[in-house]
Amino acid sequence: MRARSIELSGFRAFAGAASLDLDADAIVLVGPNGSGKTSLLDSLLWILCGSVPRIGDDADLVSMFSPTGGAYGTLVLGAGDSSAEISRSFDGQSTSLSFRRAGTESRGSAAFADLCEVLWPEAIATGDEAAALAAAITRSIYLQQDLVRQFISADTDQERFEAVSELVGAGRIAEFQVQLDNQRTGWTRATNERTAVVERVRADLATLEARMASLSEAPTSTAEIADRWGAWWQAVAAFGIESSVDLSPAAPQAAHVLDDAVRRVATVRRERDRRLNMMRQLLVDLIEESPIERPDLDSLRAASAAAKRTVEEAQVALASVEAAAAEARRRQVELHEARAELQALAQLALRHLGEHCPVCDQTYDSVATRARLEWIAANSGDEDAVRAPAANEVSVAAEGLRAAEEASAVADQQLRVAEALIREADLREQDLTSRLTSIGYVGLPDADAVSALEIQTATLDREISSCEELSAEGERLAVAIARIGEATQRDELQRDIASSRQRLQELEDEIAKREVTSALAVRLLAGLREASSNVVTSELERIDPLLQQIFSTIDPHPAFRAVRLLTTFAGRRGRVMAQLKDQLSGKVTDSPEMVLSSSQLNGLAVSIFLALNLGVRALPIDSVILDDPLQSLDDVNLLGLVDLLRRIREHRQLIVSTHDMRFGDLLARKLRPVAQHQRTLVYRFRGWSRFGPSLEMEEVPFDRVRLRIASSAA
């Protein structure tokens, strides 16, 4: 089927409503970049698939100037007298689809199922029909402007294999192979888990068998155990432990009750041990330690007080002597200062002495006065007029004080030692009294206490020995009681062992069957890989001559002129790679991006795209859509592409866009109708406004002449 018409509104550059006639063998879209050519081509993909993968969600496809806030498109396809109408709309929240054919209309998922049934039945068997249909269209019908080299440089070898498999009809084989491989991995994981369970069951079985082997084979006398049981409980009752003599040793709770009683006997033994150790230490303290002799505190305190009084008296005597000495020194200083002042006055008067007194101007006996003044100036007076205490008096008083203080210190030290001895004696007596009281001996004399303690320690020794024997007998009884239940335990172990052996056998049988299934899955996977690889390889080999012819026509590289698509299988996945070869030198490369320029890579990508379009046995629609190849190819390669497109037009509907007016005119001439049934349309995008592109359509007239030979002017 081919496109016949399209109506758009609110889609990308087409904000307003637009209707275009597409019922032609060749359609050329000419206009500057940004005028809406790519939007028109993307609308075909959106209406058919519901998405434009390289752009994103439907909300990104709505024109910002859409009057309704949504997008709408209707595409009419036709083949002969048959036609189909696909309508898709997006209201800003959800997308709706309708499909009308032969008077029958379907909507929603049913509409898309009908659409796939008509265009690409292979998609119905996939998990994502829309993605499968979009992949088929973008790989073989619509070569998008910004994704020209994706198949060569962006896709991995595995992605190329999946794309080719989808186109040649082997996609379901590859999908089944992947699903089977994943299931086999899960199957293997489950088998490994069961193997781990087998190991656990085998270990549990070994434990059960070891327990069975450890059971005693010797018979046990129930009557003998009952007698020992009663005697033991009567013995422990003497220590205040509740008796369970009425309980049968064969009772289910007998072992638990016995264990509890044995623990209580051990507790009694520990308590007796603690009490015995305490009594023995008390005996040692009472017997070995001699009593402390108490000193006479009253006489020591009186001696200390008398020494203190002697110190005080010595201090008073020393202070009195020191005070007298200080007073004598003060008076001597004052007398000395007075004599010094008289000498100074006498010396001053001698300098001013004359016949008359220099002060009162009276006459006087100058000879006697001068003699008296000279004697005063020459003599300082009697320094011993004031007698000070002798130095040895102060020393004697100080020595007396020191001796009194030493005697007082000795008396105090003797008093403190005596008080410490008395405190120690009091504490020892209190400790012994407290320890005797704690064991019940209050107010007994030391001799009586020693005798009573010796009797009690002997009693405790006997009780401790009894507790040890009772504990040992209790353990023996526990073993005997355990043997009573060994017969029942043996039966239970035999049943558990039989059950574990049966479970182990069942698991081993299941694992053996699973290993057979896993081996079968491996063989199936190998067969599927081979089948998938064979299908893709045979289809690529069938397409090889066509690919080589197209590549030679475009001729992107002067040396690497041979091209092949090779298939391999690695890592459990099929892979497709493009191989270039220089036939003259024999050089081969599996990495075209390493030897080709950007434009040459585009030429290789276009060649593979067209080879897949022409070589695939069935396509969703019989069209080739190229979005502005002029931006991807050099001029020389472009001319080869134009000649190729002229031949392709015989087999496919061509829709080609270009931003170059001259190239558009060249396409119009090269793709002009040369037969009555052919039709070529040219849409010229004159500009763009907020309402959408400004379009003009012209139909290229029919021209019978396929080739024109230029002639010289007349």
* pLDDT tens, residue by residue, 32-64: 999 999 999 999 999 999 889 888 788 889 999
Q: What is the mean pLDDT of residues 302-315?
A: 87
Predicted confidence at residue 171, as pLDDT, reads 58
Q: Is the pLDDT of residue 570 over 70?
A: no
pLDDT of res. 174: 62
pLDDT for the residue numbered 154: 62
Mean predicted confidence (pLDDT) in 282-306: 77
Beta bridge partners of 589: 580
CA–CA separation, 595 and 601 (whole Å): 9
If you average pLDDT over residues 17-44, what whole number do you get? Answer: 93
Higher-confidence position of 170 and 491? 491
Query: Across residues 599-623, what is the average pLDDT?
Result: 83
- Report, as an integer, the average pLDDT of 522-537: 74
At residue 117, the 3 state secondary structure works out as helix
Report the alpha-carbon distance of residue 644 to residue 609 in Å, rounded: 13
pLDDT at 492 over 90: no
- In percent, the amount of the chain with pLDDT more than 90 equals 17
Tokens 């892979």 sit on residue: 575
Of the pLDDT bands very low, low, confident and very high (cuts 50, 70, 90), residue 710 is very low
Spell out a b/e string for 361-395, using b for 16 or more CB atoms within 10 Å of the CB, else e: eeeeeeeeeeeebeebbeeeeeeeebebbeeebee
Distance, in Å, from the CA atom of 230 to the CA atom of 473, rounded to the nearest integer, reads 12
Confidence of residue 285 (pLDDT cuts 50, 70, 90): confident
Structure confidence at residue 226 as a pLDDT band (50, 70, 90): confident
Higher-pLDDT residue of 569 and 10 is 10
CA distances (Å), origin 58, targets 2, 48, 69, 85: 25, 13, 12, 21
CA dist., res. 120 & res. 118, Å (int): 6
**Is residue 228 very low, low, confident or very high in pLDDT (cuts 50, 70, 90)?**
confident
In whole angstroms, how far apart are CA 358 and each of 365, 367, 369, 370, 376? Answer: 13, 15, 13, 13, 19
pLDDT at 529 over 80: no
User: Over 50: is that where the pLDDT of 711 sits?
Assistant: no
**Collapsed DSSP state (helix, strand, coil) of residue 684:** strand
pLDDT of residue 84: 94
Q: How far is CA 531 from CA 538, 544, 607, in A?
A: 10, 19, 27
Does residue 115 contact residue 621 with C-beta atoms inside 8 Å? no
Higher pLDDT, 10 or 449: 10
- Nearest-angstrom CA–CA distance, 263 and 471: 8
- Please check the confidence at residue 22 and state whether its pLDDT lies above 90: yes
pLDDT tens digits for 68-112? Answer: 999 999 999 998 888 999 999 999 889 999 999 988 999 998 998
Q: Are the CB atoms for 14 and 39 separated by under 8 Å? A: yes
| Distance (Å, whole) CA 520 – CA 51 | 41
Summarize the chain as % helix, strand, coil (round to 5).
60, 15, 25
Residue 709's pLDDT band, with cuts at 50, 70 and 90, is very low
User: What average pLDDT does the structure give for the chain?
Assistant: 82
The two tokens of residue 326 are 């200080």
Confidence label for 682 from pLDDT (cuts 50, 70 and 90): very high
Q: What distance in Å separates the CA atoms of residue 141 and residue 133, rounded to the nearest whole number?
A: 11
Give the three-class secondary structure for 411. helix
Name the pairing type of β-strands 680-689 and 653-658. unpaired
In the predicted structure, residue 365 carries a pLDDT above the cut 60: yes
Cβ–Cβ < 8 Å for 415, 300: yes
Alpha carbon separation from 580 to 210, 294, 577, 643 (Å, rounded): 72, 122, 10, 23
Q: Give the pairing of strands 142-143 and 562-570.
A: unpaired
The pTM for the full model equals 0.54
**Phi and psi, residue 54, nearest 5°:** -75, -15
Average pLDDT over residues 230-244: 82
- For residue 380, the model assigns a pLDDT of 63
pLDDT-derived band at 442 (thresholds 50, 70, 90) equals: low
pLDDT above 70 for 168: no
Distance separating alpha carbons of residues 668 and 38, to the nearest angstrom: 19
pLDDT at res. 100? 94
pLDDT band at 714 (very low <50, low <70, confident <90, very high): very low
CA geometry: angle 84, 90, 93, nearest 5 deg: 145
pLDDT of 620 > 50? The answer is yes
Split at pLDDT 50, 70, 90, the class of 703 is confident
